[in-house]
Structure 1
Amino acid sequence: MSKSNPLLSTFKTPFDTAPFSAIDEAHFEPAFAKAISLAQSQIDDIVNNSQPATFTNTIEALDSSGDTLSRISSIFFNLNSAETTDEIQRIAREVSPILSKFGNDVTLNQELFKRVKSVYDQRDELTLDPEQATLLEKQYKRFARNGANLTEESKTRLREIDVRLAQLTLGFGENVLAATQEFELHIEDKDQLAGLPDTALEAAADEAKSREKSGYVFTLDYPSYLPFMTYADNRELREKLSKAFGARAYSGEHSNQDNVLEIVQLRYERAQLLGYETHAHFVLEERMAMSPERVNEFSQELLEKAKPAAKSEFEELTGFAHQYLKENKLPSIKKLQKWDGAYFVEKMKKQRFDLDDELLKPYFKLENVIDGAFEIAQRLYGLSFKLNKEIDTYHEDVMVYEARNEDGSLNSIFYADFFPRKGKRNGAWMTSFKEQYMDSDKNVRPHVSIVCNFTKPTQTKPSLLTFNEVTTLFHEFGHALHGMLANTTYKGLSGTSVFWDFVELPSQVLENWCYEKESLELFAKHYETGEVIPAKYIDKIKKASNFHEGLQTLRQLSFGMLDMSWHGVDPSGIDNVKKYERKTFEHTDLYPDVESSCMSTAFSHIFQGGYSAGYYSYKWAEVLDADAFELFKEKGIFNREVATRFKDHVLSKGGTENPMLLYTRFRGSEPKIDALLKRAGLVA
């Protein structure tokens, strides 16, 4: 099989990159079966070693085991997110429980655990460096937190739970994708689309054409949905689209209600089996925040600062909307609804700052923004990027770059996939096809990827980004730099293998360069004239960045609090998803509830992605990033000394030590919330 299956052969490709065009869907199932068997034999070798357990023959051997399996998994599950098909989804359903079972076979292997525990018990006598000590602790906890200390009966139940959870979370994601792709708003009369910019109309016309329809088609994919909600004058159509978006996977054949209830119940039962009070207690033991109590205190502190500001902003927005409708002789509305928010916020922002996305978009041609991100990485970290068309990709839209260090050596391979298409999930994310680690004396360099959903080029215009899309690109590129600049010994501690409330620091800190004149002038150039973005626009972008910060903070907090309300309690008594969600949102919702909408049933971050009991980390990381960027502002945003400190103490270190230690080494002290409150304009 290995001769004919490219997934099981050595990749004879540039830089050992994935040979996508040689991979057929039929290769995956046999490849998984073989790779699991290879990984199992590596585990058997560790267990059957007649020598006493040592750090090298047990802990290091365990870290380097399963290499083929993790590579195949990363290729397969990245395709399932970015280029899925019915067949890939079927394979995912088959393979996920098998992988879950194998993971449990390893962590519940009593003989293997004995060897790990034997090394762990003598850790004080061993002379381990900080990275080795962290790896040892991580390996030990991996077993302990996955049931190694349980009775046989409890271990069996744990296995059942994990297999079922793998199926449920996969099913959850499939339902969201199906519900998103099932809906279309088909409009033939252009008069109904007043207010929409030409770029949105052209994209909708292209979408209609691709579906062999006349007129315009709008979908629930963000590049189609967001402009419609922001600019369409037709309130009835905004309501229709908003309600469709809010109802995704709530009812009908793709409903996730049962999935949500079963997932939270099983996560709770699993935590209890392992001796934790709730799923959140289990998760947060391995986070900077450390406990649900601390997360709740942090959220409350921010809520107290943000809610008065949010209420006042909402009242002001309501007043503005009434005035706007009156001045434009349009029908009045009693209460602002969710489908009014983005529309009137944009109108108000335009009036206040004389600034809107359509005014800025010509300055943010996608290619220029990419070049800008590269230039900033070069100035800060000495990286250079060169397009390589010889490297294979899974779709023609994907671009691949060689990233090189200042001395010309290879730093990493960087994939970028920017446009929405059928079979690609919504949103934006960073991922990797291969981790960085040391193999004997060789520093194996990573293959990193970012995936986004930006407006595609049309026949008359290149891809022009909204300012929000610009910050999204920088955010994901910040994650990518965390992966690219990794410089650790062990795979299990490399790159983004860090506590989840630390992982957003590198991504969010890079967003700050989108607001600075010195960096914007590098890439914000008019796509037709080449004119650099005028200074007055930059000034407006900075002023507008705090616009409605109270409402924005309240929104993010509401998501984090919903997550904690599902995972920080015993969910046994919850039988109605919507009712329970409403109770949580009482403290943060300013808009009237929409009966047919439900956030939880499409909340993929916490029910499919890895953010369960961790959504708060976006706000947590904002505290870190505001505090960190203050130092850059103080010394200069391209100050090489500060950038080198950030690279040496944060970006290159991965999860080799406790993140608070790493951060404090970079900053000189623990982070303070003040910088965030000041930046957000929530305190004077």
Structure 2
Amino acid sequence: MTNPLLADRTLPFDLPDFAALSDDAFAPAFDTALAQARAEIDAIAADPAPADFENTIHALERSGRALSDVLSVFFLLASVDATPEREALQRAFSPKLAEFSSDVTLNAALFARIEALWQTRDTLDLTPEQARLLEIKRRDFVRAGAALEGADRDRLRAINTRLAELGTAFAQNLLADERDWAMPLPQDALAALPGFVADAARAAGAERGADGPVVTLSRSVIVPFLQFSPHRDLRRRAYEAWTARGARGGATDNRAIVAETLALRAERAALLGYDNFAAYKLETEMAKTPAAVRELLMAVWGPARARAEADAGQLEQMLQDDGHPAPLEPWDWHFYAEKRRRALHDLDEAELKPYLQLDRMIEAAFDCAHRLFGLDFAPLDIPLHHPDARAWEVTRDGRHMGVFIGDYFARAGKRSGAWCSALRSQQKLAGEIRPHVLNVCNFAKPAAGRPALLSWDDARTLFHEFGHALHQMLSDVTYESLSGTSVARDFVELPSQLYEHWLEVPEVLQTFATHADTGEAMPQALLTRLIEAATYDMGFQTVEFIASALVDLDFHDGPPPADPMQRQAEVLESIGMPRAIRMRHATPHFAHVFAGGGYASGYYSYMWSEVMDADAFAAFEETGDPFDPETARALERHVLSTGGTADPEALYTGFRGRLPGVEALLKGRKLVPAA
């Protein structure tokens, strides 16, 4: 029988048939597709005809299709529904993929063809997009070591393979720690929680087959528990488990993996001629240099730290008023910050949450996309990767624009956090190929028959990830390598963070923030208090983020630390980290940086993009209409449809006419610069 992963697809829109898949199909499909991809690369490199754009660059773009199809399905399942069998497959696939990548980028004959085109590029009559693609291809090969020779090439190949193994191990260790920990809640602790938190604990216990309600390390469960549980001892136990992920000793401890990863990254950068890994990584980003990143982060650090320290004083007084001795501890911050928010803004998460139904927030995200970009969303009844997932066809003026898939609920075996990925990206080289885009979140699943309720942070996450999805769905380029989110790391967060702003538009909340039981719209008084409190606790949020970004940068901007945990402590001490706040992502569970390294030396990019997103939304505000059609068309034309076809600075300048300064970010966060 034909392997279902390699067979022609028969579902609408060429979607994979998850119902026909079984885990035993992945290994043979992978082997077959990998062999096919190798043969395609070998044929390009050995082509006796002189290199031209069609037989080299176009051929590279067309190669590896079967492998991409197999891997997009496999890695989706491995990330949202991990099993021992899938984790074993991932460990087997990872080094093979790293070796294949090295075989491509270190293929001397292939690079010679690309270099020949580069040297004669002015005579090739290329379109601007083709010229950009050639530039990116050559740059990627050079940065991957194509110009190395002899022992250096061999060593780089070995480093790449080992880094792939370490990234896989880091991610699987973290998932194991999150999957294996749960704290049963005694009846008195459960009774002290608001109904939605108690319901989430009951649902988590049922999902795990526990005897009763539990707190898990899913953010959508543990953060509300920390906000509302008056039991300080339980808060401490849960918080310390949350922050100890990846550092518990034993087989899942990530600290040795971190040290080896940093050493290998530094060695790879040196082989490629860079002073350190940060210099290597940032060369192709908007920031360009570690110094530019540090300048941005420290410009915000002072005002953020001052705000956080002032808030800490207020929270510590509340702690003492409750009869607890000082000092304020990290496991106290969420509880007293929530209590203070209720006092300052008369805003209670328990009062707010019934108005933030998941289904209504999805409708809100869709409606904003319709008003801004003319997109329509129709539900699809097709087999997906999990019963909780759902899909929509996306159209504009009757034209098919793509398929959007949402997988919103936390479960054991699902990687923590939220992300956007694609089963297929937009391109035109192989015909009019429209994308299959996924948003994956980890919201608390409700009890049977009850609507899923979101926190304000959850709702922002939904809009954030949908902004990434729009970047994919509105892409309109020829080449997949330049499609959608294939842009600089510190530019990719612009569309996602910009889209968050529409959640705060009053008319959006007035329409879609309806009560789960009564169906009534959010009262104007509550809406006003919600918007006024949007930047509440911003000192804490900014400090925990910048601390993580500075530790990431310091790890890579210089010699690798022999003891990363000691270096982490030194960095935090040097910047005056407030005692009651921890890094958002401590090193042993910093998946952005160590589970594959996509954000290594790049965690700052959220803040770099925020400088732009604050300024970009101001373009709409200046018109007096958050849905201004002309501004929306300009945003799509210059940013959302263009992918990586031009330099990010040129794209943003095309939209806004200039680049912004940090002032827009400080204004948006309501942080006053330090005197």
- Smaller-chain TM-score range? over 0.9
- Answering whether residue 18 of structure 2 is matched by residue 27 of structure 1, we say no
Question: Equivalent residue for 2:665?
Answer: 676
Is residue 545 from structure 1 mapped to residue 534 from structure 2 by the alignment? yes
Indicate whether 1:437 and 2:427 are aligned.
yes
* Structure 2: runs of 5+ lacking an equivalent: none
1:415 is paired with a residue whose SS is strand
Is 1:494–1:654's contact at 8 Å kept on the other side of the alignment? yes
In structure 2, distance between residues paired with 1:250 and 1:40: 39
Q: CA deviation at 1:47?
A: 1.7
Give 1:579 shift: 1.7
How far apart are residue 539 of structure 1 and its match?
Answer: 1.6
Q: Residue type matched to 2:354 in 1?
A: P
CA distance in 1, matches of 2:191, 2:654: 54
For the residue of structure 2 that corresponds to 1:528, the secondary structure is: coil
Question: 1 CA distance for matches of 2:222 and 2:308?
Answer: 24
Structure-1 residue corresponding to 2:622 = 634
Q: Does 1:667 align with 2:659?
A: no
3-state SS in 2 of match to 1:453:
strand
**1:276 aligned onto 2:264:** no
1:493 aligns with 2:491: no
Moved more, 310-319 or 130-139: 310-319
Q: Does 1:363 align with 2:360?
A: no
C-alpha RMSD of the superposition: 1.7
For 2:256 and 2:249, locate their aligned partners in 1 and report how far apart those are by CA, in whole Å: 12
Separation in structure 2 between the aligned mates of residue 524 and residue 277 of structure 1, nearest angstrom: 52
**The one of 273, 289, 304 aligned to 1:291:** 289
How far did residue 173 of structure 1 move? 0.6
1:351 partnered with 2:339? no
Distance 1:85 1:321 in 2: 43
- Amino acid corresponding to residue 569 of structure 2 in structure 1: R
Question: In structure 2, how many angstroms separate the alpha carbons of the residues matched to 1:310 and 1:239?
Answer: 21
| Cα offsets for 1:318-366 (capped at 9, x unmatched) | 234333x1xxxxx322100000000000000000001022111111111
CA distance in 1 between counterparts of 2:578 and 2:594 reads: 25
Pairing 1:377–2:377 present:
no
Looking at structure 1, the residues matched to 68 and 576 of structure 2 have their Cα atoms a distance apart, in angstroms, of: 41
Deviates more, 1:533-542 or 1:9-18: 533-542
Mean CA deviation greater in 284-293 or 575-584: 575-584
Aligned-partner SS, 1:11: coil
Query: Cα gap change, 1:42/1:430 in structure 2, threshold over 3 Å: closer, same or farther?
Result: same
State the match for 2:578 in structure 1: 590
Distance 1:352 1:598 in 2: 29
Residue 622 of structure 2 aligns to a residue whose secondary structure is helix
More deviation, 44-53/410-419? 44-53
CA deviations 1:157-198 (Å, max 9, x no partner) are 0110011001001000111111111211113x3113353111
State the SS of the aligned residue for 2:306: helix
The question of 1:337 aligning with 2:325 is answered no
User: How far apart, CA to CA, are the structure 2 residues paired with 1:12 and 1:565?
Assistant: 50
Paired amino acid for 1:402: E
**Residues 291 and 439 of structure 1: CA distance in aligned 2, closer, same or farther (over 3 Å):** same
Deviations 1:194-225 (A, max 9, x none): 53111221222233344444332111111221
1:246-295 Cα offsets, whole Å, 9 max, x none, are: 11111322111110000000001001000011111111011000111111
Residue 670 of structure 1 aligns to which amino acid in structure 2? L
TM superposition score normalised by structure 2: 0.97
- 1:656 matched to 2:645: yes
Question: Any idea what SS the aligned residue of 1:444 has?
Answer: coil
For the Cα contact (< 8 Å) 1:497–1:654, is it kept in 2?
A: yes
| Whole-angstrom distance in 2 between the partners of 1:498 and 1:64 | 20
* Cα distance change of structure 1 residues 639 and 552 upon mapping to structure 2, 3 Å threshold: same
CA contact (8 A) 1:513 1:520 kept: no
The answer to whether residue 349 in structure 2 is matched with residue 388 in structure 1 is: no
Q: Distance in 2 between matches of 1:588 and 1:131?
A: 47
Aligned sequence identity (%): 40
Aligned pairs for 1:56-75 (under 5 A) are 56-75=54-73
Q: Name the counterpart of 1:424.
A: 414
Counterpart Cα distance in 1 of 2:133 and 2:140: 10
Q: 1:139 is paired with a residue of what secondary structure?
A: helix
Match of 1:328 in 2: none
Q: Which moved more, 1:257-266 or 1:518-527?
A: 518-527
Residue 304 (structure 1) shift: 2.7
Letter in structure 2 aligned against 1:234: H
CA distance in 2, matches of 1:631, 1:588: 36
**TM-superposed deviation, 1:522:** 2.5
Match of 2:309 among 297, 311, 317: 311
Q: Note closer, same or farther for the CA distance 1:211–1:35 as it changes in structure 2 (3 Å cut).
A: closer
Structure 1's 337 and 196: CA in aligned 2 closer, same or farther, altered over 3 A? same
> Which of residues 450, 456, 470 in structure 2 aligns to 1:481?
470
Runs of 4+ in 1 over 6 A off after TM superposition: none
Whether 1:52 aligns to 2:50 is yes
Q: Tell me: CA distance 1:303–1:244, structure 2 relative to 1, closer, same or farther (3 Å).
A: same
Q: Report whether the alignment pairs 1:84 with 2:82.
A: yes
Q: Does 1:239 align with 2:231?
A: no
**SS of alignment partner, residue 63 of structure 1:** helix
Given residue 243 of structure 1, which amino acid in structure 2 is its aligned partner? E
Preserved contact between residue 337 and residue 592 of structure 1 (Cα < 8 Å): yes
- What whole-Å deviation, never above 9, does each CA across 1:465-485 have from its counterpart, x for those lacking one? 111100000000000000111
Distance 2:585 2:665 in 1: 30
Aligned positions, number = 669
Q: What is residue 399 of structure 2 aligned with on the other side?
A: 409
**1:649 alignment partner AA:** H
Equivalent residues of 2:194, 2:350 under 8 A apart: yes
Q: CA deviation at 1:532?
A: 1.3
* Post-superposition offset of 1:309: 2.3
After TM superposition, the structure 1 = structure 2 runs for residues 146-225 of structure 1, keeping only pairs within 5 Å, are 146-187=144-185, 189-225=186-222
C-alpha deviations, 1:519-550, integer Å up to 9, x for none? 21221111222211122222212211121222
Indicate the SS of the match to 1:626: helix
Q: CA deviation at 1:593?
A: 8.3
State the alpha-carbon separation in 2 of the partners of residues 626 and 439 from structure 1: 35
Contact preservation (8 Å) 2:220, 2:444: yes
Matched-pair contact (CA < 8 Å) for 2:467–2:496: yes
| Cα separation, 2, equivalents of 1:370 and 1:422 | 24
Q: Which amino acid aligns with 1:12?
A: T
Find the partner of 2:520 among 531, 534, 543. 531
Contact 1:278 1:567 (C-alpha < 8 Å) held by counterparts: yes
Match of residue 257, structure 1, among 255, 258, 283: 255
Aligned partners of 1:147 and 1:274 also within 8 Å: yes
In structure 2, C-alpha distance between the alignment counterparts of 1:503 and 1:34, rounded to whole Å:
33
Residue aligned with 2:303, SS: helix
Look up the equivalent residue of 1:383 and give its one-letter code. Answer: L
Quote the residue 1:450 is aligned against.
439
1:620 aligns with 2:595: no
Unaligned stretches of 5+ residues in structure 1: 326-330
Residue of structure 1 in register with 2:510 after alignment: 521
Query: Aligned pair in 2 of structure 1 residues 171, 110: CA closer, same or farther (>3 Å)?
Result: same
Q: Secondary structure at the match of 1:558?
A: helix
Give the whole-Å Cα distance in 1 for the aligned partners of 2:552 and 2:585.
Answer: 14
**Equivalent of 1:6 in 4, 20, 26:** 4
SS in 2 for 1:238: helix
Aligned counterpart, 2:590: 603
Deviation of the 1:618 alpha carbon: 0.7
How big is each residue's C-alpha offset from its partner over 1:446-472, in whole Å with a ceiling of 9 and x where there is no partner?
000000011212136310111110000
